[in-house]
């Protein structure tokens, strides 16, 4: 079963788990399965239309899914999906 690595910012919604196993044939199905199992995650991952939020980066085995097949990228049982929320901000301005 594919594994999803959960970033620290989302672990409260997964009961503190850093890795969650989720069934799915493609990246989108895996992420939706994660959101179904842990409802607090869905609003962080997807926008109102069901698309991946633009500030969420997703990797499949260290490859950016945007460079593969997007959410339709096939996932195998030994694959790992990594969620990386984009970080913003910086130092103080002078």
pLDDT in tens, 28-65: 999 999 999 998 899 889 988 888 888 899 999 999 99
Domains of the chain by residue range: 3-85
- Give the DSSP per-residue string, 4-18: EEPPGGGGGGGTT-S
Q: Which superfamily does 3-85 belong to?
A: Beta-grasp domain (3.10.20.30)
CA pair distance 63, 69, nearest whole angstrom: 11
Q: How confident is the model over 71-89, as pLDDT tens digits?
A: 999 999 999 999 998 866 5
Query: 82 is written with which tokens?
Result: 């990594």
Helix (H/G/I), strand (E/B), else coil: 89: coil
Output the pTM of the full model.
Answer: 0.87
């Amino acid at each position: 079963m594919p594994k999803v690595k959960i970033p620290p910012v989302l672990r409260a919604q997964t009961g503190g788990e850093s890795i969650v196993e989720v069934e799915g044939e493609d990246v989108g199905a895996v992420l939706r399965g994660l959101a179904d199992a842990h409802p607090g995650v869905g609003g962080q991952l997807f926008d109102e239309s069901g698309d991946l939020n633009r500030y969420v980066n997703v990797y499949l085995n260290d490859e950016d899914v945007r460079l593969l097949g997007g959410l339709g990228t096939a996932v195998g049982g030994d694959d790992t999906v990594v969620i990386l929320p984009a970080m913003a901000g910086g130092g103080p301005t002078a």
